[in-house]
Structure 1
Amino acid sequence: MGKIGETTLEIDLTALEHNFNHLKLRLQPKTKFLAVVKAFAYGSDMVAIAQKLENLDVDYFAVAYVKEGRVLRDAGITKPILVLHPQIANLGEMIDRCLEPSLYSPRMLREFLKVASEKEQKNYPVHLKFNTGLNRLGFWSTDVDYILEQLKDRDALKVISVFSHLAASEDSGEREFSLRQIDTFKRISVEISQKLGYQPMRHILNTSGIINYPEAQFEMVRSGIGLYGYGNDPKVDPQLRPVATLKTIISQLHKIEPGESVGYNRGFVSDGYRITATLPIGHADGIGRQYGGGKTFVLINGKKAPIIGNVCMDMIMVDVTDIDCKEGDEVLVFGGDLSAEQFANTANTISYELLTAISPRVHRIIIV
């Protein structure tokens, strides 16, 4: 391992390119690729990730909120950007920044139509989201006539795409449910295109959808977690490369005697002579308290060191009794030989939560 002097998150753009190309190979030649870079590109570095993907000629980006789209535009990103969850307070800025809204409810449609008309827009690109079973955001299939009535005889907006979101595309046990969602989406798309008089782009597949339902690619697919190295499938994960690697160092070693405790609330009480290492990372950095108690481990010199006691705000303590190590040695939290998915599974959570929780105060290093 190389030497580091603080907690760092390494972001490997070569791994990103590998994942992008791997997923592209699963697509038909004409299928467009939308890269999801919301939540600081899943906890990494949204600008560096988007710049790399734009250089790779990705077709579209998606963010959750207008603020994220603003960051990308300020960084010089020129590709179309879909805002998945716009808020009414930001609709004017959305137009000013050339961001494209997901219109997911009658209220959002009315409000955006109003703002676009006030700004004298013509054929401003919008995306209609339909709820086919996730029950989170989206119009109902019965809203189609209402949508078309609102758009009738008005040229402020143009429907660029119609889309939905699979609820359980990674779960083989829910295949029937996913296929019903896809069929429902097909019916809605046909009705929309017939009544509009043209065919907008259609997209319903996320990363697991790309892998498990290739027949439903339509004109575009969306990928988030797959770009960052995780396929939600132990058979697929080895084909991808984790983009983010979280490392830290040993700040101090302690010799603990039998009966001594470690950390807040005496979360760990030693049953013998132990050696512990204190690391400069804690729940303020994104390693939550659920990872304490000995069930989660980090790697030090290739060996497992369990996190003991309670995770502190800025520190964790690990058991290094059987590990040859010293103060200043590098520690692998996740990435490489210990994936974020493995780390997250120890606390019954998922890689998404772990990755997106990494605090901005953790120093980012971009590896090109």
Structure 2
Amino acid sequence: MEKNLVIRALKANAKSFSLSCKKISYVPKSIARLTCILTLQLNNNCLSSLPLELKSLHQLTELHLGNNAFEELPVVLKHLNSLRKLYLFRNKITTLPSEVLDGLPNLVLLNLNHNKIRVIPPAIKSLVCLETISVTDNQLQELPAELGSLRKLTEINFTNNKLTRVPQQLCNLSKLTELYLARNNLTELPEGVLGWTSLRVLDIAGNNLSMFPVDFQQLPLEELLCEGNEFVQCELLESKQEREVLSLKEHAARIVLKEDMNKFSVVARSLPLYPELAHMLSHRGKCALCFQPFLTTWLECVQFINLKKDMGMKKNLTVPVRALLCSYSCFNKRGHSFYGLVKLHTE
């Protein structure tokens, strides 16, 4: 019966071909004759492999392999360089071979939901055109930093995995509009979230977060899902300490950093001549109250932000956002909205 369908498709010069829901355990090699098809639907079957002959489908842009029995990415995929959309949800996949990922430079959508994947290899960086990646309900324990190099990404979904951290490099994704990280084991989000200049939807429900990172309230969010975390409560902590003893290195660094804020100063013009010093100072912070720079010594605080009032969202919810103050002198000033959490921190 499958051969008859292939013959009909050949005669009709079809651009799409489907063997979905046929209960087949193998793909007839005759499909390789359909060199003009753009879409191939093989979902909802019992497939565990694909014939190498399918590499002749040079124009194929969309491949549906969901709800089958694949335990790994079919090797033939590395020859399908025109693929733009690949669906492999509800299989038994455990690994993502680098050589296969290297052969998919035009992929814009990758759906690997409901598998058994533990690791996404660094070779994911080969998917330079990727816009959407969804790997929900897997066993991911960590994400590769290389994801941050996929600058076209607009949607990331890693819901229901075992992630404990998000790489700092993901903050480089300025086109990201939707980020789903619900039901993982995250204890914090990376600093530098201002890099998510297009982010509209963030779902971090069901994690172990205690607060949001610095400057979180400046994100252009329209929807935030954050229930089921362990956020710090709004309890005022007053300090009896009026000032701290800074190291000579910290004193010197603050003087240099303050001078560097004036781009016409001798210090600002001279720093590029000392790359090691410039690199060390690049890890500077900025006081949330006086806006003066510091290097490695700060007071960790929290500010409580109302999503509706302060961020323009529909939800009337107050969440804690991390803030760093440069000194007890700033912390002890009256009239600010920062709450102390811990003692002065020195890296």
> Per the shorter chain, which TM-score range?
under 0.3
User: Which of 1 and 2 has greater Rg?
Assistant: 2
Higher-RCO chain (CA-CA 8 Å, sequence separation at least 6): 1
| Greater helix proportion | 1
Q: TM-score when scaled to structure 2?
A: 0.25
Q: TM-score when scaled to structure 1?
A: 0.24
